[in-house]
C-alpha cells in the first residue's frame, strides 16, 4: 500500500466533541503535544465562539478540520467555504450532491474539501431506511468517484471500504477514516462500521479520526500518546 507523505503525528485527528469551547481549550491543553490535529464539529459550532476556538488552536500551531458537513444550495455552500479561507483551516466537509461538491471545490482556496461518502454510524439497514437500493461499498465508491470529478481533495470513509477506494479510485484522493476503535466497541456506541488503528492504515487511510477513546479515557493524553505510538510503528517513525 502506497501512503502519502504525511507527518506521522498529523495522521491522528482528534474529534473535539465536547459541549463548549472552555472545555475544548482545557482538553487541548491537557493533550498538549500528543495531538497536532483537531476536528471541530456541530456541537461546538452551536455552543458559541467556534471561530475563537479555531483561531486559538491555529495560533498554537495545531491543524484544524472544520467538520460541519455543508449541505445547502450550491451558492450558499460556496459562500460558507469562502469564509474559511486564509485562516489556517486544513479540511472542511461537504455532504451534498454533485453541484454542491463542485461549488465547494470551486470556492475552496487553501481549504481541502472532503466529501462524506457514507457515515460510519450507518449500516445496510439504515441505507434501506434512507431509500438507497445498493450496498454500502457500492455507494461509497460512487460517492468517491463523484467527489473526484467535482474537484474535492478527499473523502470521509470507513476503513472497511478504504481498500476498494484505493483499488478503484485515484490515489490522489485523501481518505480520512472515522469510526476508529483501539479497543472493543461498547454497546452504547453509535458507530457501527469500525476498524482498529492498524487496520485503517493497512486498508489505505491517510488520516484517522478518533474521539471518544481519547476524550473518555482516564488520562486522555496517555490515550492519545498510545495511538500515536501505534501510528509511529505502522509507518516506521521514530
Catalytic sites, residue numbers: 69
C-beta neighbour count of 110 within 10 angstroms: 11
Integer angstrom CA distances of residue 69 from 43, 97, 170, 171 = 12, 12, 23, 23
CB 10 within 8 A of CB 63: yes
Exposed (0-12), middle (13-18) or buried (19+): which is 88, by Cβ within 10 Å?
Answer: middle
**Helix-strand-coil split of the chain, %, nearest 5:** 45, 15, 40
Closest CA to 112 of 169, 175, 154, 71: 154
Q: Residues near 59 by Cβ (< 8 Å), separated by ≥ 6?
A: none
The single residue listed with the C-alpha cell 474521539 is 211
Closest CA to 81 of 62, 99, 101: 101
Integer angstrom CA distances of residue 176 from 10, 21, 207 = 12, 24, 5
Give the C-alpha separation, 195 to 186, whole Å.
13
Give the C-alpha separation, 176 to 12, whole Å.
10
Amino acid at each position: 500500500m502506497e501512503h502519502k507523505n504525511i507527518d506521522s503525528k498529523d495522521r491522528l485527528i482528534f474529534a473535539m466533541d465536547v459541549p463548549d469551547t472552555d472545555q475544548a481549550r482545557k482538553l487541548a491543553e491537557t493533550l498538549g503535544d500528543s495531538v497536532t490535529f483537531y476536528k471541530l464539529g456541530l456541537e461546538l459550532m452551536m455552543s458559541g465562539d467556534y471561530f475563537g476556538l479555531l483561531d486559538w488552536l491555529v495560533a498554537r500551531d495545531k491543524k484544524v478540520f472544520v467538520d460541519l458537513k455543508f449541505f445547502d444550495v450550491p451558492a450558499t455552500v460556496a459562500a460558507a467555504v469562502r469564509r474559511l479561507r486564509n485562516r489556517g483551516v486544513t479540511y472542511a466537509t461537504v455532504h451534498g450532491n454533485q453541484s454542491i461538491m463542485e461549488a465547494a471545490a470551486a470556492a475552496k482556496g487553501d481549504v481541502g474539501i472532503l466529501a462524506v461518502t457514507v457515515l460510519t454510524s450507518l449500516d445496510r439497514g439504515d441505507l434501506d431506511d434512507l431509500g438507497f437500493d445498493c450496498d454500502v461499498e457500492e455507494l461509497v465508491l460512487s460517492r468517491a468517484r463523484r467527489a473526484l470529478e467535482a474537484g474535492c481533495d478527499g473523502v470521509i470513509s470507513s476503513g472497511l471500504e478504504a481498500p476498494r477506494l484505493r483499488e478503484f479510485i485515484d490515489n490522489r484522493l485523501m481518505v480520512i477514516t472515522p469510526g476508529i476503535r483501539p479497543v472493543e466497541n461498547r454497546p452504547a456506541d453509535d458507530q457501527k462500521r469500525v476498524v482498529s488503528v492498524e487496520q485503517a492504515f493497512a486498508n489505505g487511510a491517510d488520516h484517522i479520526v478518533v474521539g471518544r477513546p481519547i476524550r473518555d479515557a482516564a488520562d486522555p493524553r496517555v490515550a492519545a500518546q498510545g495511538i500515536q505510538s501505534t501510528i509511529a510503528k505502522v509507518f516506521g517513525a521514530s
